[in-house]
Amino acid sequence: MAYAYDDTNIFARILRGEIPNKTVLETEHTLAFLDIGPQAPVHVLVIPKGKYVNFDHFATDASADEIADFTRAAGEVCRITGVGPGEGGAGYRTISNAGAHGVQEVPHYHLHILGGRVLGRMLAKPD
Ligand code: 5GP
């Protein structure tokens, strides 16, 4: 299965420094920054620097180093933002939307980390 990556997507432009972002954490292979339209008091996007369209693309084609770096960075964001229960936080939710049924808007793999309030049930039916 070939994944077509669109270099003009907004997160590619953020990674190229063409658009500013509010960085929470940057590592060798990963960038975490505040979502521009937060849906909870804590809403951070974690993205790989590599050109991956969605989770299954990343999980299939990324190197072990990239995957480890990304996973560790996401865990660090939970700690930095204070939502991680392991650090006494009240909890969070991670979401990764993919494709049409996932209602993915930006075609560069990203993990949403949401917290800071009770988030309700996991899924709502479409309007
Ligand atoms: P998706 O629906 O693809 O899972 O989520 C895309 C997310 O990217 C949305 O939550 C949206 O608010 C966020 N977003 C879109 N454009 C920008 C931007 O230019 N900067 C930042 N920080 N977030 C963005």
Give the pTM.
0.97
* CA 11 / ligand 1 centre spacing (Å): 8
Domain assignment present for 97 = yes
Place of tokens 């590592």: 27
Domain assignment present for 123 = no
CATH number at residue 37: 3.30.428.10
The number of distinct structural domains making up the chain is 1
Confidence at residue 60, expressed as pLDDT on a 0 to 100 scale: 97
Nearest CA residue ID for atom 5, ligand 1 = 105
What pairing do the DSSP bridges indicate for beta strands 42-48 and 111-115? Answer: antiparallel
Domain assignment present for 126 = no
Q: Annotated catalytic, 110?
A: yes
Domain assignment present for 2 = no
Cα dihedral 32→105→19→27 (10° resolution): 20
Report the nearest atom of ligand 1 relative to the CA of 97: 4
Provide the domain limits for residue 43.
Answer: 10-115
Confidence at residue 25, expressed as pLDDT on a 0 to 100 scale: 98
Given the residues 43, 57, 110, 112, the one annotated as active site = 110
- Alpha-helix runs per DSSP H in the chain: 10-15, 55-61, 64-80
Domain assignment present for 58 = yes
* CA 68 / ligand 1 centre spacing (Å): 23
Domain assignment present for 31 = yes
Confidence at residue 1, expressed as pLDDT on a 0 to 100 scale: 62
Rounded mean pLDDT for each run of 10 residues along the chain, 127 residues in total: 92 98 98 98 98 98 98 98 95 98 98 97 86
